[in-house]
Each structure stands twice: as C-alpha cells, then as structure tokens.
Structure 1
Amino acid sequence: MKTCLSSGIFAIFLILFTITGSFSCFSYEKHDHEKIHEFILNNHINGFSIDEYLRCYLGLERGKDEVIARTWWISFSGYELSLGRPEEISVLKCFTNGGRYEDNPSLRSARHFHNPLLQWSEAGFKELGSSSILWAQCDNQSYGKYSWKDVRSYLYEALTASSPDEQTKNYVKTFEGLGRLMHLIQDASVPLHTRDDSHMLDRKNYEKFVTKNWDNKWLKNGEDENESLYTYDETVLGILPVPNNLLPIARIVDTDRYVGSNPDVTINQPTGLAEYSNANFFSRDTIFKTNKFPYPSRDSVGSSVDMPVPDPSDSSRTVSRQFFVKTCHGDTGYRLCTVPVYDEWMTMDSMLDNNVYDDYAQRLIPRAVSYSAGLLKYFFRGTIDIESFAVSDTGGEGGAQLIVSARNTSGGEDGLEEMSDGSIELAIHYWPADDKYQYLVLPEANGVGTIEREPTELVFDLGDNPPPIFAERCSFYLVYRGELGAEKDAVCVGHAANENKIAMSLPEAGVYAQLLSEPDRPDSQGFDHIRILAQNVTDGGVEMPDGSIELVVQYRVSDYDPFTPQISYPDPFDNRVRYCTASTDIRSIPRDRPVEIDFDLGDSGVPLWAYDIYAYVVYRGALTLGNELIGEYSQAVGFRDISEPTPVTVVNHTDKVNLFGQWYDTGLDALDAVDGGSSGNGNGYGDEHTVFPRTFENVYVRFSPDDGIARYASPDPGRHNYCIPRIRAGRYVQSYVLSDYVFRLSGSSFSTQRTNPLDMMHVAYKQNLYTARGVKRQVEFNPDTGGTIFRIPSPREIRGVNFYGYPINYGLTKYPEQSLVSLATLYSQMPDLRDEYADEE
C-alpha cells in the first residue's frame, strides 16, 4: 500500500493550519477550477473531446450535457416539509463539483503539493504531507475515495451495472472523481504548490489575483498561432519506469528531468507541469531564494525595464514601474517580478504585483488546461471498435450465442497500446417496456482475455431468455478490464447501438408469411418464407448502398398446441429462445422508398407453434453521406414485433338456415317450411329463398396493411393471396399468417355449387372488408412489478372450433328478412364444424 502521510507529525500541522487558515487559500479557488473544467469539457484540447467520447463510447446522447442524476432539496418550515424542485446533475456538473470539492476538507487540500526537486516521498507540503502525485494514486484516501484506482473502478461498475440506479451512482462518482484528479494537475501549475511556499494567509497571492481578475483569455491557447501555450506532450507518459511503481500519469506532474541545474529542459523537452512552474516562476516567499530553488535566479533576468502600469490611486492614469523580465533559463519574455526599491526612507525587495501575476496567468493557466486535459485523455484512451455482431443458434441445449467482432483502437492507430490478460464482458441495455431500461451483463464465453488490433471474435452466451438484441432501443457496451500498456487495471469500452435505422413494414400482400395448412410437425415446421418491406430511415441523409442484408427471427417454440386452450399453462421460459436467419441477393436499402425483400428460410423456418416472435433486418456494409464513404464495415438494424402465428378461418354455415325465427337443417325440411307456408307458392321448388346447402367454389382471400386503403379480394392477379377451391356446407378451411397486430382481411366467392336440383336460387357472395387482429402470445416486461407477463390470446369457440379474430363467415340469410334471430342461438344449436379437408367419415 502506498504511503499517503509522511509522518504522524503532519497531523499536528494540519490542526494548526486548520485553526489559522486554509490550504485552499493558496491553490486555485473553487471558482477557477470550475471555469477550467468547463472550458476543457466544452472544447477540443490536445486532439481530444470528452464530449465526443461520451457520445460515442458511453452512449450519452447529449454528451457533457447529459443529465445523469437529479437531487431534491428538502426544507422545513414549522411543521411543514417542502420538497424543492429537483436539481439536474449533468456530466459537466459532476466534473465541476469534483473541481470544487477536492479542496474540502483542508486535510485533502494539504496533499496538493509537489516539489519536483525532492524525492517523491518527501515532495509534499513541508516534506511532511503526501505529494500530490502519491495522493492521486493512494490506495486509501481519507475523506472520500477518489484516487485513480478508485475512479477506474467506478467507471467499470457503471459500465457493468445491473440497474439504471447503480449505473447512475457510479457515473456520478466517476465524473466527480475525474474532476478531482484534474484539480490536482491544475494545482501543479501554481508556484505556491511546487515551491513549498507556506505563505498561507497572504491575501495578495497569485491565486487570489486570478480569482478576482479572472479573464477567459487565459484559458485559450495564446494569441500567437506559432507559439502554443498548450504545451502538454503526451510522450511524458512513456518515460519509464516511474518511481514507486506508480502509473505513468505521475509524469504529467514530474518527469524527473529537471534537477535544479537545467531549467532549459522545462521548455525544450517534454516536461512535467510542476517542473515548469517550479523552474520558471516565483511564489511570494521564494523570490530569488536560490538556496532552495536555484531557478529563476538573478542571472535569469536582464536589466530592469520601465513599463507603464495603471495608477493604483487613479485608474484613468498610468505610472511607470520597473520590472525584471525573464530572458533566459527556461521560459522567457514575461515580467518575473518588480525591481527592488531603495531610497533613504525605505527598502523594498522585489515583489509580485498584479501585473506580474497577469503575465504568470497567461502562461500557467493554458498549461493547467492542457495538462489536466491530458490526464482526461489518458483516462479514456482505452477504446474498442465493435465492427459487427451476429446471432448463432446451433439448436443445442446451450441456447443461442452472440458473436461480436471487435478490435482494439486504444491510443489511435499510431499509439496503440496492447490489451492482455484481462476480462471481457458485454453489457446490454434494452427497453422492453415504456418506462424502464433493463440491463444484462454477459461474460465472454470462450475465455478470451485480449482484444487485438485486428478484428477479434468474441462469443457471449445469450441463455434461455435473451434480450431483443437487435431492437431499436438496445445498446451494447463491450467492456475490457485488465492490462493496457503500462496500466495493469485499465478499463476500455466499445459502444454500439442501432443508430443506423431500417424501418420494417408489411408488404402490400398484408402478411409477412402465410401457411395454407397445418404441417405434420407443427413444433418444427411452418413458415419457410418471410417477405418484408425495408427502408433506410437513418438520420442525416446516410445511404446504405452496398452491403449484405440478413433477416434474423427470434422465437420460442411451445411444447403444446397453442391453439387449444389449456387448463393451466407451463412456464413460458421453460422453452429456450431460438433463431433462424436468411440472406438475400439484394445489396442496398434505399431512403426514398421501401424495398420488398423475400427471405427464404428453407427448412429452418418459423414453426407454427412458435411464440415470442421478433423479426430483425440487419444490413452490414458501406454507409455513405453524399459522395463520402463514412463507414466501410458499418451495421444498420431494423426491428419489428410481428404477430405470432394467427389462424385465418373461412366458414361455410349453409348447413343451417333460419326460417320464421327457427333454425332448420338446410334441405327438404327447410324447403317444406318455406314452400308450404303462407308465404310460399307451393310449387315444390326452392325459389322463394335459399334453403339448400351450398358448396362454395373459388373462395379468394386477401390480406392488406391497415393503412386506410380498401383492398377487396377478387380473382384478378395480385388481388388475392390465395384461393380455396371449395368449402362444403358445415365445413371450414383454416390457414395461418404472420402479420402485424392489426391488418385488413377480405374474402370473396363468385360461384357456388348447388347440391339439389330443387334449389332454384342464385347466390354470389362478396365479403366485406374486415379489420383483423394478429395473435399476440408473448412474454412481456411488467413495469409495475418488475416481473413478466405472459400474454395468452383468448379464442372464441364457434361450433366446436376455436376462432382467433374475425373468421370469414358464409351463411344463408334469414327468412323472412324482418324475423328476429340470435347469432348466439345459431352457434349453440348448430352442430360442430368440420375441417374441409378432413375425411368424410
């Protein structure tokens, strides 16, 4: 364990300093750290944008402005309790809070010192307090755990959280912790912190000047485009080994190159920020104290220079003041201090006035920006590119697997750092309901512990209850924890979400698939073709011109006939999730119109007894914007929650007819009732009303989308899905479809076959257009209980047959027309229907 206190005596100093003042009074004020943090998060610094990183790798759509937590203020007045409006805590707010809180209490701020001329174990405040370098990597910080190691763990816990609340808590600690670590780097630009100056109660020091006279121009990279003030050079991280076996971030503060005799090294070579501020600037008690700090020295300045400065007694006037301007030994060209004043009345040594402090700020604050931004870039350098993901279902007991292709992009193409000997997990965030994300974390199944620069295949077992992995609101976080370059416990992440979108919809045929009869093995046979309309609806004009297109269907299979109601139902999770896939020769998905794609599933189609069905279209290939290729191996996904297999039934009820309010079997008895009655003509023929059973021939059935367009079935090509050759009286024909949960249904028959020569009536039936309902048999998330609901459709039993939705009924009209008849009575008094294709016997 690293030592965070150099001596027990330090506690006595802390008590004394707590009584007499505050350590934070000679570091940048809280206000200043906030402004520096805000500037870094709002800009590209050192070629890195934290805002872009948050969007691309952590999936925070609003980047630094993403609200990740809310706090409520509670106040009491008398006996009343008031709950104030919630304060939204953004990522940016967490960072600035970290910049503010790191100085509290003083016991923490006392560890914000580092003298680069001493051994690191002695480089803290008065050689007793812990150096800021050691404090940043201390395993057991007091008054809050925000070391580099702690913050690394918070990031890992956020990425692999099992719930949104757990993720929120750890994201807040991650970003606040980074704000604290950046605070330590920024303090290394303050000469008081690097020259061991205890001038605590001085209210006219550099830090107080900065706070009182803050100028946003100090944050910027200077006005001379040829002279960068953002001097941080990330090659300092490669200066190894690091004392005390610390991480390379220590080199951001101290490279051990400046040893007190070589100040030019702080300018002409990559250097630590503490070395630069120590060798080139004064604090109030260390002006030309070369016995302890050799530079700057008297030889670092030339002769005095007269400069006009504002008159302290009249701001509208100027007076002349003499300054020493730094001319050598490191950085040059700025006022280092005033020239001593000697006269007969008094002697005034060199001092640091506001004019000097302004020159200091113009050099030190830009470096505080670039160096602390460099720490941020190093923390988030571990990146992974998820190139593709696909589902593999071998049909075995182990269930489906998700195959992910990923590569290590840490540090960019030129500065790649190797991953080795780590753990790899996949966090999946998906939204199965309207108000709550679900989180799932899967370990890599094959024991792979590294991700190479070239694409690496990773396998994750999805188990028996996988999430809808290709759904629109589904995100993947590939998390590596382990060795990355010189860091033994780094955290790297890759993020993929279905941002490139494909809209899936019903084709004009009104169904995705149809099955005209029940197969011999309905638990393994069923729909072998699925037809879908696909259209590119990605934001921003992105095109999908050339790539592979695959259909993935996710489902479970019932182990009982799902069309027969059960007394009790087994656990739907007892049946594992399966997948079937199919590809197509079509290579592009247009933006201006949908393209209809027919996927041939072959023998691995969707069984008739399937439930929990979801369909996905996955495009993998080129993405373009205008004439520019923006992705060569990109992926786009479409998702559709389609219906479960839905029976569509056509029924011939002409074995019964209602005459004078009573039901008759069609045939001679019915003929006698009509022909021999008071309204009959007594000629022995059925010419008053249809009273004989009919066989319907060429029944045309048509499905269509529920889009407001009326499409009726007819014999014309393209105006029916299929034709039923015949349906005899008292029989039915049942087919099955996969469609949307709402679609349109029409049936028409233009010819009937008379069954008796006494039947003299002509009958042609044209079916009206129905709104049909697809069967929903699904396991759904219940947001009220946090559990699941198994949706089971309720059929209507009509004449011994279970009907789902609206059957197409063909029957005989009542006679006379004004007579009353109950449909319920019809069904209760009529014999069971028979399947048209069942044996006569």
Structure 2
Amino acid sequence: MNRATVFALGLALAANSEITFAHDPLTHFDLSREAAQKSVLGQANTLADLGFSKAVDDETQKFPSTPGDQSNQFLPGCLHGKDLNILQLIACGSQFEDVPGTRSFNHFFDPTRGIPLTTIVGKPGTVLGLPNLKSPDWTLQDPSSEDAGSAQEFSYKNARDYFYDALTAPQQSGRDANWGKVFQSIGQIIHHPQDMAQPQHVRNDAHCDSPLCALANVITLGTLGIYNPSRYEKHTSIGLTFSGGPVRQVIQQLASTADGNSVYPGPNNANISVFNTPRKFFVGAGKGIAEYTNANFVSQGTNFTFNNGVAGTHPSYSQPVPGEANPVRANSTRLFPNGAPAGVQAACNFDLANCYLTFYSTSGTDPLTGLPFTNDRASTLSIFDQDLQAKVLQTDPSTGQQYSTERIFALNRFNFDAANQFLIPRAVSYSAGLINYFFRGKIDFVVDPTNASQLLVMNLGTEPMKGKFRLFYDDQSGSRREVPDAGGTPILWDTEVILASARSAGVLSAGGQMTVPAFPAPQAPAPKKPGEYMLVFEHAVQRRALSGGPRCAEPHRHLQNRSVGPAGAERVRRERAVPFDAAFLGIVRAERHRPAATGR
C-alpha cells in the first residue's frame, strides 16, 4: 500500500465523525451527568465557592461550548458553539470526545503491557498519520505523557490553563468562554475512565463498526485490524437485558447506585494518598480503573481458552482466571422469560431441553474495598460449537501470536449484563473521583487575629504550595484588575521570599499559614463590589489555577482613608493556581469578618 493511499485513507477516517470505538454517546452522556451530580459539583456550596450563584443544571447560568464537528449520535441539545449549563457542558463534552471518530485511536490503554491501541502493523493511527496515544497520555498530557500536539485541546492540562484564564481574563466574555472550556474539558476528560471500564479498551481489543474501518482493513489486507464491531457496545446502546428491559434504563439505574466519594477522597479520606496524581486514577498499585477492568473482565477478542477439558486464560493475559462452570438449559425461563430467540433455537437444533449455555465465573478482591467478589457470568462456552472437539487455531490480532483452543468462548448479553453490574457504577465513581480531584484543596485568607495590620494566607489542603499569590478585583465596568499595594505596584506574595527561612524553605506547607501585609482598598478605578477580592496562586514552575470562596452578596463598604485587609468584606472570594499534579481547587467556606483597618 503506497503512502498516498494511506494518507487518503487517514483523511477519510479523520473526516468521518461516525466511527465508534467507545461506549455509545448516550451512555457517556448518562454516566458523565451522573458523575457530575455525584461529585463535589453537585454539592450546594461548591459552585458558590467557585463564584457561581446557581446550581449545575440551572438554565439561567450558561457558558459557551466550543466550535466543533457535529454528529447525529449526539443527544439533542448537545451542540458545539451553543450556550449550555454546567451539567450539559460536562455531559455533552463526554460525547464530543468521540468526534471526530479518529480521536478514539487515543482511547485505549493496556496497563499490563503499557501500550495504546496496537495491531500487527503497529499503532493504526500512526500508520494513517494520526495521533495514537495511550488513553491517560492523551487525556492528561501530564509530564510523563507522550505529547499530543495541537490535536488535543481538551486535556487535563488544557483544562487547568482554561481555569486560570477563567479566573484572570480582563473581560467577562473571556472569562465566560474559558469557563465553558473548563467544564466541557472535564466532560471530555472523564470520558476516558469510562472507556477504561469497557474491557476491550484495556485489553487492546480493537473494535470499529464504520464502513470506512472495513474499507481500511480491505486496503491494508486485514493488517490494520480495526474493523471489528463491538457486540458489547451495541448491546449497551440499543440492546435488551436478559430480563427484557431496555439497557439504557438499566444503565441509568446502575449509574445512580454509584458512590461519588468512594474513589476520591474515599471513605474517611482514605484514598487521598492513593490517588495523588491524575494518572493514578488509570494505573497505580492495582487500584486504577484500567487495572481493575483488565484484571477482572475478558473481552470479545481476549476471551478464555479451552484445552484438554480445562478452561484457561487468554495467552496474552494471566487474569482473570476462569472459575466454576455453570451449565444452564437453553429453555430455562431464567435466561429467556419470553422464550428463546430464533437464533438460539436454530443453534440448538431446536432441542432446547438438551442444549446448554455454560457460564464460567471469575472471582477476585475489590482493590478499593478489599472485599471478595464473584462474577457468575464472566464468559460463556459458545452454543454454536458444542459438538466441536478438534483444536482450533486462533490468532491474537495485536501480536499475530497463534494459540489453540478446543472450544470457543463467546460473550453474550448475559455476560454483558453481568459485567455492567460491576463496571457501570465503577465508571461513574472514578469519573466523579477525578472531578473531585480536579476541584480539591482548601485555602483561607483571613485577618491575623493577633495583628490586624497583617493577613494570613492559609493552606488548609493536604499538599504544599510553592509560588506566587496575586490579588484581583472587578472594577465597575466588570474588568478584572490586579489589586495594587500602597505604592501602586500589583500585590505579589511570593512563598519563596516570604517563607525563605521556613523549615521547608520557600514552601507553604500543608496545614500551614503565611503572614502577609494588609493592603489599601483599591480606589481608581473603583471596585464594582467593595471588599470582594480574588486570590490567585501561580506555581513556581507552571501557571495553573485554583479557586474557592463565594462571591459576597452584600459586601462591606470600607471607610475612606483606610488601609484594609481582604477580611474587610463580609464575604471574600479566594482563588489560586497550582502545578499540574498539585491541588487544583481551593474550596473555602467564607466566614464573616469584621473590617480590618490600619492607618496609612
């Protein structure tokens, strides 16, 4: 195949927005919506701490989504270039992550081999001249990630930059545009832990049902290996459960059972030290979502084998190990309460009483809770080869390795429904946990109770801070400006200077505080709301942002010819910035303070 053909094929795939490698867009919408509501963003005080006056689903508080490709797979109302509320931005953002479809080349990660989507010819995206990164590399773009370049604008790293600009942009329109990008990016980020809860995405099992993927396989003589429609995703999007109910309704019910705090911060904050970087939500000490799914669930192309009368693992994966076999007659009303489908009847030669579906179980220990669990329907011996006893050679599509099996294992809706009982709540919990992590941390900004001419910047979080604090206010035109000190210079409180002689030189330690001088209330231009300030922290290495503290509803008006501290307002808005893997959001419960004043 010549390079021109490869290039043309790459362009065709890139232009096709209907390629589906991941959960159905409706599933991502439902999981992300539930995760956002179960995260700290669903708590009444969190958005107020960010400076917003309305809840996440309030239709009067909207921000613009970015321009982009539309898709008929999007839920109605999920449109690029449209003002959406915060909940819609997150839920729709999770749908946007799959369009154009070639973004999905970056939605795979095999934690046992540390590889992205890979076939016999290598990375299919790379072959086609497109990005093909590991899922956490693509969505995080942290210091250990392969660089995604200009193809990625909605990573964790991007979201932090948008957050900083949402806090500091001079004009309200710029701040609103960046808030839209923040919440849309969060939706696109949490799309990835949801994909990591789909076994094919963590066991290098390529799947695509687009005609263009089929064409790509034909042109590459099958070596590209990406056309392989996913029965799991088709079932999840349009199928029926074993009891006959619509799957989407069941998935919504399963999602509603998830605990938004079980992953991060965990029970009694037990997981704060476990998930102390965004990457550890994917892989880390066996507790990442990719590790959990990879070790405990088989996929369509990496199923069990059966040789010499014994079920075994797939040759590329040592886990999960098949457990007990459980034969169930095909005429069982437990399986088919409304009667066996025609295809099953034909496969059983219309003798359902002597035809069995043999389910195999798997067992393990939940890495989060430490409790044992059993999946009674992890996989099924195919009813289509019950009389087959000769060895069959199969080929691993990612390595070309051949292996034998005397019986074929298959996955059906019973297996998918059983897996969903574990994976759907887990996907929501990890998504909510990553949102909680994004908006974690606590700071405070108060008058020194022992000296009213001083202020205390307090780090109430669990991580140290090293860098510069800047102070902002909004003038009467709505423009955001830095607060000047008595000499007219913008306020800058540098931990490396102020805390140079501290035990941890230059660092505001977790639980520590830093003394800074009070400042005169800004006069020209006059503030829109006297006494309302925003404190932004810039890390010593990277510019990143954190925010906390509600807007003041009735700010205290300071006396003229007075020098005041930020606690001179009845309520003070406080915001900050931190490095990539440090606390990103400082949520502060504002308290009423008496005005602090000193003479000029």
TM superposition score category, shorter chain reference: 0.5 to 0.7
Give me the TM-score of the superposition, normalised by structure 1.
0.47
Q: Which runs of structure 2 are paired with 1:16-55 in the superposition (5 Å)? A: 18=13, 25-43=20-38, 45=39, 48-52=40-44, 54-55=46-47
Q: CA deviation at 1:166?
A: 1.0
1:210 to partner: Cα distance:
1.5
Matched, 1:476 2:550: no
Query: Out of 419, 439, 451, which is 1:380 matched to?
Result: 439
- Tell me the equivalent position of 1:304: 327
Question: By how many angstroms is 1:323 displaced?
Answer: 3.8
Match of 1:641 in 2: none
Q: Which of 452, 457, 481 pairs up with 2:515? A: 457
**Is the contact made by 2:196 and 2:290 (CA closer than 8 Å) also made in structure 1?**
yes
Say whether residues 1:173 and 2:181 are aligned partners: yes
The offset of 1:328, in angstroms, is: 2.7
* CA distance in 2: counterparts of 1:14 and 1:115, whole angstroms: 26
Aligned to 2:382: 340
2:456 corresponds in structure 1 to 405
Quote how far apart the aligned CAs of 1:553 are: 1.6
Task: Give the 3 Å change call, closer, same or farther, for CA 349–479 of structure 1 in structure 2.
Answer: same
Deviation at 1:362, TM superposition (A): 1.5
Residues 72, 116 of structure 1: alpha-carbon distance in 2 compared, 3 angstrom cutoff: closer
Q: Counterpart of 2:397?
A: none
Are the equivalent residues in 2 in contact too, given 1:229–1:363 (CA < 8 A)?
Answer: no
* Structure 1 residue aligned with 2:279: 250
What is the distance in 2 between the residues matched to 1:70 and 1:493?
20
Q: How far apart are residue 354 of structure 1 and its match?
A: 1.2
Q: After TM superposition, give the deviation of residue 466 of structure 1 in Å.
A: 5.1
Q: Which amino acid aligns with 2:444?
A: D
Checking the alignment, whether the CA contact within 8 Å between 1:71 and 1:88 is kept in structure 2 is: yes
Matches within 5 A, 1:214-233: 214=248, 215=250, 216-221=252-257
Paired residues of 1:112 and 1:193 also in contact (CA < 8 A): yes
Partners of 1:632 and 1:469 lie apart in 2 by 19
Aligned to 2:138: 135
Query: Is 2:583 aligned against 1:552?
Result: no
In structure 2, what residue type is equivalent to 1:221? T
Question: Shift of the alpha carbon at 1:16?
Answer: 9.4
Change (3 A) 1:636 1:50: farther
Match of 2:592 among 634, 640, 649: 634
Deviations 1:408-449 (A, max 9, x none): 122xxxxx11112x121222235x3xxx53322335345345
Does the CA-based 8 Å contact 1:57-1:494 persist in structure 2?
yes
**1:424 aligned residue:** 469
The 1:25–1:617 alpha-carbon spacing in structure 2 relative to 1, beyond 3 Å, is closer
Q: Tell me if 1:579 matches 2:585.
A: no
Counterpart CA distance in 1 for 2:8 and 2:280 is 28
Q: Post-superposition shift, 1:152?
A: 0.8
Aligned ranges 1:796-835 → 2 under 5 Å:
none
Q: Which residue of 1 aligns with 2:236?
A: 210
Q: What pairs up with 1:771-786 in 2 under 5 angstroms?
A: none
What corresponds to 1:357 in structure 2? 416
Check if 1:156 corresponds to 2:191: no
Q: Deviation at 1:111?
A: 0.5
| 1:195 and 1:286 in contact (8 A); partners too | yes
Contact kept, 8 Å, 1:253 with 1:274, in 2: the verdict is yes
Q: Of 467, 470, 489, which aligns to 2:526? A: 467
Provide the residue aligned with 1:58 in structure 2.
Answer: 50
Structure 1 CA distance for aligned equivalents of residues 265 and 12 of structure 2: 36
- Give the total of aligned pairs: 451
| Alpha carbons 1:57, 1:493 under 8 Å: kept | yes
In structure 2, relative to structure 1, the CA distance for the partners of 1:389 and 1:278 (3 Å cut) is: same
Shift of 1:208: 1.8
Q: 1:145 aligns with which of 136, 153, 156?
A: 153
- Distance in 2 between residues matched to 1:211 and 1:376, nearest whole Å: 25
Change (3 A) 1:143 1:326: same
Equivalent of 2:99 in 100, 104, 107: 104
Q: Deviations over 1:798-836 (max 9, x none)?
A: xxxxxxxxxxxxxxxxxxxxxxxxxxxxxxxxxxxxxxx
TM-score w.r.t. structure 2 length? 0.64
Distance 1:278-1:188 versus aligned 2 partners, 3 A rule: same
Partner of 2:293: 277
Change in CA separation of 1:312 and 1:438 when aligned onto 2, cut-off 3 Å: farther
2:110 is matched by which residue type in structure 1? N
Amino acid at match of 1:499: A
Any stretches of 5+ residues in structure 2 without a counterpart?
68-80, 124-131, 142-146, 210-227, 239-246, 306-313, 346-351, 366-372, 390-405, 484-489, 497-506, 572-587, 596-600
Amino acid at match of 1:480: F
Distance 1:111 1:447, change over 3 A: same
CA spacing shift, 1:149–1:25, aligned 2, 3 Å: same
Q: Which residue of 2 aligns with 1:437?
A: 478
- If asked which structure has higher relative contact order (CA below 8 Å, sep 6+), I would say 2
Identity %: 22
Question: 1:815 matched to which residue of 2?
Answer: none
Partner amino acid, structure 1, of 2:460: T
Q: What CA distance in whole angstroms lies between the structure 1 residues aligned with 2:118 and 2:271? A: 24
Seen in structure 2, the aligned counterparts of structure 1 residues 195 and 21 have a Cα distance that, compared at 3 Å, is farther
Pairing 1:631-780 to 2, within 5 Å after superposition: 634-635=592-593
Letter of the 2:376 counterpart = Y
The structure 1 residue matched to 2:546, chosen from 492, 506, 512, is: 492
CA distance in 2, matches of 1:15, 1:335: 39
CA distance in 1, matches of 2:320, 2:473: 56
Cα distance between partner residues in 1 of 2:589 and 2:156: 35
Give the letter for the 2:317 counterpart: F
Asked if the contact 1:230/1:369 (under 8 Å) is kept, the reply is no
Q: Residues 468 and 492 of structure 2 are in contact (CA less than 8 Å); yes or no, is this contact kept in structure 1? A: no
* 1:668 corresponding residue in structure 2: none
**Structure 1, residues 340-393: CA drift from partner, whole Å, max 9, x if none?**
334559997321111211111111111111111111111111332233599x99
2 CA distance for matches of 1:579 and 1:451? 29
Aligned equivalents of 1:70 and 1:238: distance in 2? Answer: 35
Shift in Å at residue 221 of structure 1? 2.8
Alpha-carbon separation, structure 2, partners of 1:162 and 1:20: 37
SS at match of 1:334: strand
Q: Distance in 2 between matches of 1:115 and 1:287?
A: 15
Structure 1 CA distance for aligned equivalents of residues 23 and 232 of structure 2? 9
Task: Name the amino acid aligned to 1:322.
Answer: L
CA change 1:493–1:34 in 2 (3 A) is same
Partner Cα separation in structure 1 for residue 590 and residue 87 of structure 2: 34
User: Structure 1: any 5+ residue segments left out of the alignment?
Assistant: 1-7, 74-85, 241-246, 259-270, 394-401, 411-415, 503-550, 555-577, 582-615, 621-629, 638-841
Query: Do 2:263 and 2:433's aligned partners in 1 also have CA atoms closer than 8 Å?
Result: no
C-alpha change, 1:198 and 1:445, in structure 2 (3 Å) is closer
Counterpart of 2:428? 369
Map Cα deviations across residues 442-468 of structure 1 (whole Å, 9 max, x no partner): 353453456553443345565651534
* 1:503-557 alpha-carbon deviations (Å, 9 max, x no partner): xxxxxxxxxxxxxxxxxxxxxxxxxxxxxxxxxxxxxxxxxxxxxxxx8322xxx
**CA distance in structure 2 between the aligned counterparts of 1:72 and 1:291, rounded to whole angstroms:** 44
For 1:219 and 1:137, how far apart are their aligned partners in 2? 24
How far does residue 57 in structure 1 lie from its aligned partner after superposition? 2.5
Alpha-carbon distance, 1:12 to partner: 6.7
Higher share in helix: 2
SS of the counterpart of 1:326? strand
Within 1, Cα distance between the matches of 2:262 and 2:341?
36
Root mean square deviation, CA, Å: 4.4
Task: Write the distance in 2 (CA, Å) between the matches of 1:13 and 1:277.
Answer: 36
